[in-house]
């Protein structure tokens, strides 16, 4: 490590020699792994650049429409750029989505009808989808369940989709209209699903029921591979703009991409039947959405590099990690198992202390809307809750696993992780 940096880490943050030693060893181990991600980054940059050029993006697309927002060329051309990047027919990219959950919910409500069944094949979906489905939440909330939409789920078997059981259910239950596939781990102690695995899965589904909608929750997955689920047969996919694809620049929003008919139905749910995606003024955020997309291939890989370093250094420090630093990844999330509530909280507080914004704030567990357990969230971000920025969160439940993600620059992620580990190793 550069001597000046080492001295400053000691001087500013009291980082112990033991932590620095682990860091130097971990960095050596992960650097060999970076090469593949640099190649993915390079290719995705080319893909995004070319999509923008093909759509002839110019200054005039950084629109600031008002009112109905009819004919907002920035909005309409960003949709086409996304459709090119994702190699699919259609896209709906909007600052009007308040979060990834909102985009996912809109895609589901837009495409499911009473009597249909949604079938989750990779275990329980991400926590915030439970209230959408109607698994949790009391009373008459207008969940899918309230609208008479059924739900089935099968568990992962050794971390993989149970293909035989899935096929059996698909053959026997003709009400299945949509299969839910989650690429990222979410708050689950499992590997993210590689796009090649998603390809196999979709092939098996389509062989039995070609009319079923293969729906992918792509949150945290964008640009971690050279291909996306829509390159391998996903019909409909959604994600958040304050994760990978917003490049840390998008101030808010979400996207839905896929087959034209399915994206259109989702657009009728975002606005109303008839209006769809043709309305909606864009509050002057279009430049940020374009620029964020342009930076996203780079930023997403910065975040992955932070995750790799975190994986290796925490493993060297004696913690169980998932994935390991040399396992192929499909998202930016790093799981660390603490088996100890206090260590988990210290780690999250350390990430908070290493943030550029709100570094002086003590994060504490709280009852977050949409989540079943208390959650602690360390996030000192420029964009509130943005998890492409360095952040760590953890539901407060055994075995006390923290999920770290983000880092707009690898250098920042490194410092944050060192502060967090130092809290555990050297602060009592």
Ligand X SMILES: *Cc1c(COP(=O)(O)O)cnc(C)c1O
Site residues (CB under 6 A) for ligand X, limited to 229-248: 240
Please report where in the chains the tokens 């304050």 appear, as a residue: 242
- The distance of closest approach from Cβ of residue 17 to ligand X in the complex, given in angstroms and rounded to an integer, is 36
Nearer to ligand X, 239 or 350 (CB): 239
Q: Is 192 in the site for ligand X (CB under 6 A)?
A: no
- The distance of closest approach from Cβ of residue 220 to ligand X in the complex, given in angstroms and rounded to an integer, is 5
| Size of the residue set binding ligand X (CB under 6 A) | 13
Nearer to ligand X, 26 or 289 (CB): 289
Q: Are strands 176-182 and 213-217 parallel, antiparallel or unpaired?
A: parallel
- The distance of closest approach from Cβ of residue 129 to ligand X in the complex, given in angstroms and rounded to an integer, is 7
Distance of alpha carbon 198 from alpha carbon 308, whole angstroms: 23
Q: Is 95 in the site for ligand X (CB under 6 A)?
A: no
Task: Choose the binding region for ligand X from 10-18, 100-108, 191-199, 373-381 (rule: CB under 6 A).
Answer: 100-108
Please report where in the chains the tokens 């979410």 appear, as a residue: 186
Q: Is 252 in the site for ligand X (CB under 6 A)?
A: no
Q: Can you tell me which of 100, 323, 335, 350 binds ligand X, judged by CB under 6 A?
A: 100
Nearer to ligand X, 233 or 385 (CB): 385
404: helix, strand or coil: strand
DSSP assignment of 87-144, as one string?
Answer: TSSEEEEETT--SHHHHHHHHHHHH--TT-EEEESSSSPPTTHHHHHTSS--SS---T
Q: Is 330 in the site for ligand X (CB under 6 A)?
A: no
Distance of alpha carbon 35 from alpha carbon 325, whole angstroms: 13
Over its C-alpha atoms, the chain yields an Rg (Å, rounded) of 21
Other C-beta atoms closer than 10 Å to the C-beta of 213 total 25
- The distance of closest approach from Cβ of residue 296 to ligand X in the complex, given in angstroms and rounded to an integer, is 15
Nearer to ligand X, 62 or 126 (CB): 126
Q: Is 143 in the site for ligand X (CB under 6 A)?
A: no
Nearer to ligand X, 240 or 422 (CB): 240
Q: Is 403 in the site for ligand X (CB under 6 A)?
A: no
Sketch the per residue contact string, 199 through 228, with ligand X: x for CB under 6 A, - otherwise. ------------------x-xx--------
Distance of alpha carbon 220 from alpha carbon 241, whole angstroms: 10
Q: Is 371 in the site for ligand X (CB under 6 A)?
A: no
315 closest CA partner among 32, 31, 33, 25: 25
Q: Is 101 in the site for ligand X (CB under 6 A)?
A: yes
Tell me how many helices (H) and strands (E) the chain has: 11, 12
Nearer to ligand X, 154 or 316 (CB): 154
- The distance of closest approach from Cβ of residue 219 to ligand X in the complex, given in angstroms and rounded to an integer, is 3
Q: Can you tell me which of 77, 111, 128, 230 binds ligand X, judged by CB under 6 A?
A: 128
Q: Residue 319 in contact with residue 26, Cβ under 8 Å?
A: no
Which residue of the chain is nearest ligand X when measured via CB? 100
Q: Residue 87 in contact with residue 124, Cβ under 8 Å?
A: no
Cross-strand pairs, 401? 337
Q: Residue 43 in contact with residue 227, Cβ under 8 Å?
A: no
Phi, psi of 370 (to 5 degrees): 95, -10
Q: Residue 307 in contact with residue 334, Cβ under 8 Å?
A: yes
Q: Can you tell me which of 126, 223, 319, 347 binds ligand X, judged by CB under 6 A?
A: 126
363 closest CA partner among 402, 326, 399: 402
Nearer to ligand X, 57 or 363 (CB): 363
Cross-strand pairs, 280? none
Site residues (CB under 6 A) for ligand X, limited to 156-185: 182, 184
Q: Is 99 in the site for ligand X (CB under 6 A)?
A: yes
- Interface residues with ligand X (CB under 6 A) are 99-101, 104, 126, 128, 182, 184, 186, 217, 219-220, 240
């Amino acid at each position: 490590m550069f001597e000046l940096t080492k001295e400053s880490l000691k001087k500013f943050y009291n980082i112990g020699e033991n932590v620095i030693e682990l860091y130097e060893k971990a960095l050596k181990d992960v650097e060999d792994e970076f090469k593949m991600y640099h190649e993915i980054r390079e290719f995705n940059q080319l893909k995004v650049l070319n999509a923008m050029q093909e759509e002839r993006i110019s200054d005039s697309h950084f629109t600031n429409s008002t009112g109905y927002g009819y004919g907002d060329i920035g909005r309409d051309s960003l949709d086409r750029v996304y459709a090119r990047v994702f190699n699919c027919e259609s896209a709906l990219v909007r600052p009007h989505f308040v979060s990834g959950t909102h985009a996912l919910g809109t895609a589901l409500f837009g495409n499911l009808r009473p009597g249909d069944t949604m079938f989750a094949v990779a275990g329980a979906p991400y926590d915030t989808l439970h209230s959408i489905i109607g698994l949790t939440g009391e009373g008459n909330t207008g969940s899918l369940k309230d609208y008479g939409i059924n739900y089935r789920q099968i568990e992962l078997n050794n971390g993989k989709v149970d293909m035989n059981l899935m096929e059996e259910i698909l053959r026997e239950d003709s009400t299945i209209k949509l299969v839910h596939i989650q690429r990222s781990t979410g708050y689950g102690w499992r590997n993210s699903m590689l796009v090649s695995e998603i390809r196999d899965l979709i092939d098996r589904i389509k062989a039995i029921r070609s009319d079923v909608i293969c729906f992918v929750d792509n949150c945290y997955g964008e640009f971690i591979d050279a291909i996306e689920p829509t390159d391998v047969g996903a019909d409909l996919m959604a994600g958040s703009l304050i994760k990978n694809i917003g490049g840390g620049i998008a101030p808010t929003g979400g996207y839905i991409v896929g087959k034209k008919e399915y994206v259109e139905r989702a657009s009728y749910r975002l606005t109303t039947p008839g209006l769809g995606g043709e309305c909606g003024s864009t509050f002057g955020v279009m430049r940020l959405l374009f620029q964020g997309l342009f930076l996203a291939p780079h930023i997403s890989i910065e975040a992955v590099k932070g995750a790799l370093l975190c994986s290796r250094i925490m493993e060297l420090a004696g913690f169980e990690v998932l994935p390991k630093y040399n396992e192929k990844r499909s998202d930016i999330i790093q799981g660390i198992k603490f088996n100890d509530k206090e260590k988990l909280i210290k780690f999250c507080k350390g990430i908070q202390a290493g943030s550029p914004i709100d570094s002086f704030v003590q994060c504490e567990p709280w009852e977050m809307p949409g989540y079943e357990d208390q959650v602690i969230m360390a996030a000192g971000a420029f964009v509130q809750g943005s998890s492409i920025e360095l952040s760590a969160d953890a539901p407060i439940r055994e075995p006390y696993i923290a999920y770290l993600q983000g880092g707009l620059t690898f250098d920042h992620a490194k410092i944050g992780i060192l502060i967090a580990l130092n809290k555990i190793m050297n602060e009592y």
